[in-house]
Amino acid sequence: MRNKYSAIYHDIADKIVHRIYPVGSYLPSETQLSQLYGTSRETIRKALSELLINGFIQKIRGKGSIVLNLQRFNFPVSGITSYKELNRSLNMHSKTEVLCIEDRHVPVEKFDYQTTEALPATYVARLRKIDQDPIVLDRDYILKSVVPHISHAVAADSLYDYFENKLGLTISYATKTITVEHPSVEEKKWLALNEYEDVVVIRSRTYLEDTTLFQFTESIHRPDKFNFVDFARRQKIS
């Protein structure tokens, strides 16, 4: 960890996860923490504000910071997370099957993206299984302008790992929509759906740090296996 405040963030987060700071208890005060870590109060406050955003603590003015009971270890579709990371952090022991890799143009209208030009991309279709049961059908369109080629081995492992650690790309943010739709014949087949069963579709556009769009993703979920867990803070519309 190269930053003081992110080192402190991870240290406190660890202590919360391992119940050294139990749920419902107060953290040491900001001045105490600043002495503990040998740093200024502002640096402590930066770490605490990250913990607040991520739902670890709740700050109460005049009193202190309470440890919250976050049990967001189910399926955090919120936030951007790669399937491999999810799989590892949840110990799900899932398998990924690569169905197809080929060159295609992005079907931009599906993603509600307005453009006049064609977007050449690498199309990757993958099926995610847990205990032999198909759960999710992932369809990725990775723009050729950013990533010229993707191998079968990379697709079978982790696209995000490849992008970030091999290519040095920094994935920054994404916009997502979630809808319920009637499945296509192909989707029905891959996900082993019953008659009349709908699917949950998550479509996202992913951007790099310099705001260049580089990936469109379509995730088709079996409705009985779909579970989205979210943590939200109140924000007034004004």
Partner DNA sequence: TTTGACAAGATGTATAGACAAGATGTATCA
Partner DNA sequence: TGATACATCTTGTCTATACATCTTGTCAAA
Q: Site residues (CB under 8 A) for its own copies?
A: 10, 53-55, 58, 60, 66, 68, 70-72, 74, 78-81, 85, 89, 171-180, 196-198, 200, 207, 209-211, 223-224, 226-235, 237-238
If the CB atoms of residues 98 and 178 are measured against its own copies, the closer one turns out to be 178
If the CB atoms of residues 65 and 219 are measured against DNA, the closer one turns out to be 65
| x-or-dash string of contact with DNA, 4-23, rule CB under 7 A | xxx-----------------
Contacts of 38 (CB under 8 A, 6+ apart): none
Stretch that binds DNA, among 62-70, 126-134, 196-204, 215-223 (CB under 7 A): 62-70
If the CB atoms of residues 39 and 96 are measured against DNA, the closer one turns out to be 39
Stretch that binds DNA, among 59-67, 75-83, 131-139, 197-205 (CB under 7 A): 59-67
Tokens at 202, concatenated? 């998550």
Angle between helices 4-17 and 30-37 (to 10 degrees): 110
Residue that the structure tokens 């809808």 belong to = 179
Binding at 40: pick from DNA, its own copies, none (beta carbon under 5-8 Å per type): DNA
Alpha-carbon distances of 82 from 54, 138, 163, 168, 169, rounded to whole Å: 18, 11, 11, 16, 14
- Give the alpha-carbon dihedral of 141, 178, 164, 119, to 10 degrees: 30
Binding at 80: pick from its own copies, DNA, none (beta carbon under 5-8 Å per type): its own copies
What is the DSSP secondary structure assignment for residue 112, as one 8-state letter?
T
Task: Please report whether residue 30 would count as binding DNA according to CB under 7 A.
Answer: yes
Tokens at 99, concatenated? 């169905």
- Tally of residues, the chain: 238
Task: Please report whether residue 59 would count as binding DNA according to CB under 7 A.
Answer: yes
Residue of 68, 80, 84, 89 whose CA lies nearest to 24 = 68
Binding residue for DNA, selected from 14, 19, 35, 40, defined by CB under 7 A = 40
If the CB atoms of residues 48 and 121 are measured against DNA, the closer one turns out to be 48
What is the DSSP secondary structure assignment for residue 164, as one 8-state letter?
I
Closest distance of CB 44 from its own copies, Å:
15
State how beta strands 133-143 and 120-130 pair: antiparallel
At 55, the amino acid letter reads: G
Residues that bind DNA (CB under 7 A): 3-6, 27, 29-32, 38-43, 45-46, 48, 59-65
